[in-house]
Structure 1
Amino acid sequence: MAAGAGGLLAAAALLLAVAGPRPAPAELTDGNSEHLKREHSLMKPYQGAGSAAMPLWDFQGSTMVTSQYVRLTPDERSREGSIWNRVPCFLKDWELHVHFKIHGAGKKNLHGDGLALWYTQERLVPGPVFGSKDNFHGLAIFLDTYPNDEATERVFPYISAMVNNGSLTYDHSKDGRWTELAGCTADLRNQNHDTFLAIRYSRGRLTVMTDVEDKNEWKNCIDIAGVQLPTGYFFGASAGTGDLSDNHDIISMKLFQLMVEHPLEDETVDWTKIEPSVSLLKSPKDNVDDPTGNFRSGPLTGWKVFLLLLCALLGIIVCAVVGAVVFQKRQERNKRFY
């Protein structure tokens, strides 16, 4: 059940010193303009055991903390788990790097359901969307490993993005296709190497990139402009299993502040009052997916057909009028020669 901002080549060295031994690919991050925010980050070594290991994080459901990872669900049926940061984020521009692992005994399509990463108003609310609340307020990135819609053209696992103001419902039977903004296929399950995902939000632009091929470089997945997200929401991760299952592990979540200049008029905006939204030329429901992760226009509805016929009729009338006028002018000009 429930897809690229430029950077500088100098990024790798600085981020390596701040974020750990793995060099940061330069395609996404700018080490000179980002700072690790420890109050919003989860990193090894975890201190103590259980909830004491993460004083700034809460977890619920089947979530289990070990010395090497936070397991949201074990490879067992009908389990749900989540982990949420206790501190609301008031950054306007940020980048989240997630080190995760999805693995289990199931092969082919005999595994599920997937993992979700959240930046939402609600926290610690269990629900049917990969172990968390439906009709949420904010942003969700879904790492869906099981196709519920047998007619889908997507190749799974599939990563997708959704922005919700509380009015939209995630449709599991269609794998969230009607509310998806964009997405991509990513071979992220049962890998023997580390798998990473980066979510960047800056000046209304949402970028999601993956590093799941053991190449130590980011690959573009989702890039959407016109995204409006308020400040004061919470970061979290959740996962769920149904009749099929997997281990869903979070190894680290590192949040970086991006130092970005904003227009002067932004200073007067109360960023906590912004409603989550996306400025699109068409609704996500008008999109249908294709195997490449891109979108093409959906099937024509009756209303669209009517508009097209009306435009065609008006075009014919205009051409007929213009033709008649031209013909009449020619006739009058010819008469003057006799």
Structure 2
Amino acid sequence: MFDIVRYSPNKMASIAPRDIAILCLFVCVADVASDQWNTRDFQRREHSLVKPYQGSGMNVPQWDFLGSTMVTNTYIRLTPDRQSKAGAIWNNVQCFIQNWELHVQFKVHGGGKTLFGDGFAIWYTQNRMEPGSIFGSADPFTGLGIFLDTYSNHNGPHNHNHPYISAMINNGSLMYDHDTDGTLTQIAGCEAQFRNKDYDTYVAIRYENNKLTVSTDIDNKSGWKECFAVEGVKLPVGYYFGASAATGDLADNHDIISVKFYDLDGTDSEMGTPYTGLPEASAMEPPRDRIDDSKGSYVLGSMTGWKLFVIIILLIIGIGVCVMVGVMVFQKQQENSRKRFY
């Protein structure tokens, strides 16, 4: 980067042409970088959520919420850092814009150091306000789901760490597989260490010309870092935006601070006929093999919840059977020993 130098009117004449050229180049590069995510766009309030949230009473204009969601002056908490909670907030205005970009400012934090979960999801779906098993929302769904998965004791055939961001396109026929953390149905994903940060964290979802791009700002650098980009994605108009979160045996606070929606179509663009079919993606990411470590963490990590409970019960039954057989054998030996003395 260049140092900023203050020039007086008397010193301006002494600036070398080379310095002026370098300064102009820097300004042009900065302008291009700033426009990378903000060309032709303007914010649409009907799909945005910014402070102050509340309208009259406890209502949030153009947004509805359910479950454990709590609205405060500075954030909207989908779930508290408590077990078995689920909450959601949904925009009640259908989106008929073909190309758009969504910026979500969020914060995921809690008291857990090594065990925490489960995460939250950002939605663009046909139906809304339907609680369910995918981060607090309905399964199956029709539309787009962006999952910010923090479940620290991960499952299934994959070798990535958590937190993890992934995308799923569903035409209503697919079920989210919790045993594999959605690996079998995701179209792309990336690791993103966004939990328990001391500064603001953001995710940007851009859909333009059948291309889905997800980027993050989780390093406090005031700039976007691409997480993944997928071509050949078709999303129909007329769906709803929303966000939901859930906790299970593990928990976290899942806070939404702002949602800003940008229209990329512009007023003078020549758009084709809006797509109204079912959501589709040209390809899904193939499942990856899970890497087992030398300590057998995969075996222990997968034995969670009811699976671990069943295994413990079977072990207790097995030990009990062995003890009973051992007692019977011992008694038989004692009986045979007494017979030899008569």
TM-score (norm 2): 0.72
Pairwise CA distance, 1:218 = 0.7
The correspondence of residues 1-338 of structure 1 with structure 2, limited to 5 A, is 9-10=30-31, 26=34, 28-31=36-39, 33-48=40-55, 51-52=58-59, 54-108=60-114, 110-146=115-151, 147-149=153-155, 152-259=158-265, 267=272, 269-271=273-275, 273-280=276-283, 283-284=284-285, 286-288=286-288
Q: Give distance in 1, aligned partners of 2:216 and 2:289.
A: 19
Distance 1:64-1:230 versus aligned 2 partners, 3 A rule: same
Q: Give distance in 1, aligned partners of 2:57 and 2:133.
A: 25
RMSD between superposed Cα atoms in Å: 2.4
Pairwise CA distance, 1:261 = 10
TM-score (norm 1): 0.73
Aligned residues: 263
Q: Give distance in 2, aligned partners of 1:217 and 1:45.
A: 25
Q: Give distance in 1, aligned partners of 2:107 and 2:260.
A: 15
Pairwise CA distance, 1:212 = 0.3
Pairwise CA distance, 1:263 = 10
Unaligned runs of 5+ in 1: 1-6, 12-24, 292-338
Q: Give distance in 2, aligned partners of 1:187 and 1:148.
A: 15
Question: Does the 8 A contact of 2:103 with 2:261 survive in 1?
Answer: yes
Question: Does the 8 A contact of 2:159 with 2:288 survive in 1?
Answer: no
Question: Does the 8 A contact of 2:144 with 2:170 survive in 1?
Answer: yes
Q: Give distance in 2, aligned partners of 1:100 and 1:289.
A: 31
Q: Give distance in 1, aligned partners of 2:125 and 2:249.
A: 28
Q: Residue 91 of structure 2 aligns to which amino acid in structure 1? A: N
Pairwise CA distance, 1:114 = 0.2
Q: Partner residue of 1:321?
A: none
Per-residue deviation, residues 63-114 of structure 1 (Å, max 9, x unmatched): 0000000000000000000000000000000000000000000111x11000
Which has the larger Rg? Answer: 2
Q: What's the secondary structure of 1:159's corresponding residue? A: strand
Question: Does the 8 A contact of 1:97 with 1:254 survive in 2?
Answer: yes
Per-residue deviation, residues 226-275 of structure 1 (Å, max 9, x unmatched): 000000000000000000000000000000000369997x63x352x221
Q: Give distance in 2, aligned partners of 1:50 and 1:290.
A: 50
Pairwise CA distance, 1:216 = 1.0
Unaligned runs of 5+ in 2: 1-27, 292-342
Per-residue deviation, residues 99-156 of structure 1 (Å, max 9, x unmatched): 0000000111x11000100000010000000000111111000000014316631111
Pairwise CA distance, 1:217 = 1.2
Q: What's the secondary structure of 1:96's corresponding residue? A: strand
Distance 1:151-1:277 versus aligned 2 partners, 3 A rule: closer
Q: Give distance in 2, aligned partners of 1:62 and 1:112.
A: 16
Question: Does the 8 A contact of 1:229 with 1:275 survive in 2?
Answer: yes
Q: Give distance in 1, aligned partners of 2:57 and 2:108.
A: 21
Pairwise CA distance, 1:50 = 6.0
Question: Does the 8 A contact of 1:93 with 1:260 survive in 2?
Answer: no
Pairwise CA distance, 1:30 = 2.1
User: Deviation above 4 Å: which 4+ runs of structure 1?
Assistant: 260-264
Q: Residue 180 of structure 2 aligns to which amino acid in structure 1? A: K
Q: Residue 162 of structure 1 aligns to which amino acid in structure 2? A: M
Pairwise CA distance, 1:48 = 4.5
Question: Does the 8 A contact of 2:52 with 2:73 survive in 1?
Answer: yes
